[in-house]
Structures are given as structure tokens and as C-alpha cells.
Amino acid sequence: MAPGTNDKQPAETKDDERVAALRRFAAAGRNRRRARLAGSAVLMAIALTGGAIAFGSDGDSGTAAVATSSAVDPALLASGDLDTTIASLQAHLRTQPKDSDSWATLGLAYVEQARTKGDPSRYPQAEKALKRALLITPDNDQALAAEAALAAARHEFAPALTYADQALKQNAYNANALSSRIDALVELGRYDEASKAADLADQRKPGVPVFTRYAYVRELRGDVRGARRVLTQALATATSKGDISYVAAQLGLLAWNQGDYKSALNYYARALAADENYLPALEGRARAQAATGDRADAIKGMELVVSRYPLPQPLVELGELYEDRGAKGDKERAENQYALVEAWIALARANGVNADLDTALAAADHGNRAEALKAARTEWARRHTVHTADALAWALHVNGKDKEALPYARQATATGYHNASFLYHLGMIELAGGEKAAGRAALAKALDLNPGFSPLGARAARKALEAAK
């Protein structure tokens, strides 16, 4: 019997139950968290980076980075939505249990479902399906490529690269493997190799999944104009609703990162016109609304997002919106969101997801600072990316280790990646280390690039800039 074939509940009911379960889990540790937060002097906020396979952070979960996560594989949606496709595959496999390709497709579908619904409990199901596929056909390139996607979703990027290479040995034109290989190299910080991998993928299997990755590699190197051009071309060629919503949302994120909120809102509107429930667009729209001062709609929108998919980044951002509003009861509401982040991280780890980066980013400003530093050091030992460098720098800073933090903060900004949060962290660390002129310059650049990059962070940056005159 296929994994999950006994699961008869409607998707909405399962989503509601999962959110409720997270809230119950979080409530158990809420008093402990309140005690920690009460002693925290850190009021500065950061936006959680989304990793390459987003939970949409992928990849690192979530705002900053998540341009590398793929849109739902069009083949999976050819007959309808993802839930329908999974149900069809399960029914097929009950009668054809030796169909290796269908087991591989089911495994990949579970990975996509985990990503789009923020439900890491799907990863063990994906693992079982893919083991079944490879037991039947050990050299099945689709199954190996799906293993790469699963490993990347769990933030195990070295194994993801190995699986992608194995799949490409069997089929050099496997689109999923080509894309996963780019993802893995990006998330290992091997940007030169990732650029070459994107070129190769573009030669072999040009299309929306490759174009979006190609654009992200350019963005990481500071080539915003090139990234925008590639994404615009990708949107012009997109035909399915899934591709349109995905690429439009990526253009929205790119515009938001540059402080162009009007364009960002227009792109998010286009994404939602294609799919009114597309999570990254709903989340991005709320973020852009907050940046333009439309706080009420931003909170309403982010509440909708976390009610469906309680992922670390939107949970933190909603908490920060509550804190920034500062009305009666908002501090408690904010703390509740931060407690849910801990619950999600625990759930992710229980299902084989490496959540050290999520832990470092959330805990640095809204939790246990010593735990944040431990997680950041562990993640840095695994991979050297701009996002892990930034997370380690900030964790060191909030623990009073500014001299050690500075090289990492500078490394995070060395590629030219236009990220206001990174610049904000650099500026605060430079100021703390006595480098007043450099710190002021970095903070001014962050606010000039994206003045609404974070409700609390932008406010703290302006306050620090004024104090450093």
C-alpha cells in the first residue's frame, strides 16, 4: 500500500489540525519562553531567510533567499492540483505496486506537498516512496532526482548534490536533477559552480525551473538587472497557473528586496490572479503592505498565511508586526508567534530536517541567544553561504562577540547581494566595534535600498543611525 493511502481527511481539515497541534505544542513551553524574552535586550529584528527549498524557504527557510525553490513540478499538476495528483498516484500504486516511476513521482509529490503546505511530516512518506522506487529499479534517474530534492528540502545539501549527480549519470537531461544540482551548489556556497551548473541546465533543459535558478544565481552576485531580465522572460513564457504564480512572486520578491514596493505589489497581484491561494504571494503582499505603511492589511494578510502554514519566517514577521504596532496585548501575541517557531523547528527536526539556520535566525532576536550562536556555528561548519555568514555574524553580535562577528558580516555582503537585512547587521556590528563611519554608511545603505526591510529592524537602524551622528 502506498504511504499515506489510508489518509482520507480533507486537506483543509488536516491543515487546521496541524496548526492546532503546533499551537498546543507551543503552549507547553510558552512560560519558559516568556521568561527568556523578558530578559532580552535585543529589539532588533531580522527577516528569516528562506532556504533554497523553501518551507519555502526552502532552502534555508523563507524572505531573503528563497528564490531558488522550484515551482511545483508541472508534471505533477498536469491532471489537477497536487493533492489530487497524490491521490491518483496512490490509487494507481495499489493496483501497480511495481511501477518504479510512479513511486518516484509520488515521492517527489510528497516533497512538494511538504514544501507548499509547510508540513515536514510528509518527508518520511517521501523517503518511503523513494526507497520503494529504488528497490524496484536501483538506477531510476527520476527517483534519484527526487532523492536530491528530498535531501535539499531537509537542508542536507551535500547528499542532495550526490543524488543529483547520480541521477545525471543515468540521464544527463533529467530536469529535476539539473535544478536540484543548482540548488545544492548554491546552498553549499559554491556560487561559481552554481553559475556553471545553471548555464549547463539552460543548455540542456531550458524552462521556468532553470530560468528562476539562473536569475537567483545572478541576484546573489549583485546582478539585479540581469536577474530581473531573466525572470521577466520566464514570466513571458510561463503558461501554467503554477508557473505564472511562481515567477510573478519571484519578481515581486526581487522588487521588494530593492525597495520597489509598487512593483512588488503589482507582481504579487499577478501571482494571486493565477492562484489566489499561492502562499509566497500572500506572504510577499503582506510584507510589501507593511513596508508601505498599510499595517492593518499586512497583519491581516500575515495572519491568514500563518493560519494555513505556520512556517518560521511568517511567524516571526507576524510577531514583529504585532510588536511594532504596540497595542495592548500585542506583546503577548508576538510571543505566541515566536513560541510557534520553536514548535515548528521541533517538528521539522523530528522529521529529519536540519533546522539549525532557522534556529539561529529566530533565536538571535526572539529567543535564547546562546542557542542561536550554537546553531549558527553548527550550520557554518556545514556550509559557507552568504546566509549562514550573516546568521553567524548576527548571533555573535547579540552574544557580545562583535570582533569575531565582523569578518562574517563582511563576508555576507562580499558577493554584492542586495540585501538590506545583511547591511543592517553589518552596520550594527561595525558600530558596536567602534567603526562609526563604516557603520553609519552600512545602515544608510540598508535604509536607502529597502527602508521597510523589517518593522523592528528598520526602526532600530534609523535609531542607531541618528544616535551615531
Is residue 367 a contact partner of residue 46, using CB atoms and an 8 Å limit?
no
Is residue 232 a contact partner of residue 241, using CB atoms and an 8 Å limit?
no
Is residue 51 a contact partner of residue 357, using CB atoms and an 8 Å limit?
yes
C-alpha to C-alpha distance for 409 and 28, rounded to whole angstroms: 35
Q: Nearest 5°: phi and psi at 150?
A: -65, -45
Q: Nearest 5°: phi and psi at 435?
A: -95, 80
What residue spans define the domains of the chain? Answer: 16-78+206-467
CA distances (Å), 457 to each of 43, 317, 393, 421, in order? 8, 11, 16, 8
* Residue 369 CB coordination number (10 Å): 22
C-alpha to C-alpha distance for 89 and 326, rounded to whole angstroms: 49
CATH of domain 16-78+206-467: 1.25.40.10
What pLDDT shows up at residue 50? 29
| Eight-class DSSP state of 59 | B
Strand partners, 54: 58
Q: Nearest 5°: phi and psi at 224?
A: -65, -40
End-to-end CA separation in angstroms for the chain: 68
What pLDDT shows up at residue 47? 27
Cα angle 223, 155, 52 (rounded to 5 degrees) comes to: 25
Which residues, other chains included, contact 245 with Cβ-Cβ below 8 Å and sequence gap of 6+? 71, 271, 272, 274, 275, 278, 281
C-alpha to C-alpha distance for 419 and 43, rounded to whole angstroms: 20
Nearest Cα neighbor of 288 from 330, 253, 334, 244 is: 253
What pLDDT shows up at residue 120? 84
Contacts 24+ apart (CB under 8 A), 442-450: 443/468, 446/420, 446/421, 447/420, 448/259, 449/257, 449/258, 449/259, 449/418, 449/420, 449/423, 450/256, 450/257, 450/258, 450/259, 450/291, 450/420
Low-confidence ranges of the chain (pLDDT < 70): 1-80
| Eight-class DSSP state of 3 | T
User: Under DSSP, is residue 413 helix (H, G, I), strand (E, B) or coil?
Assistant: coil
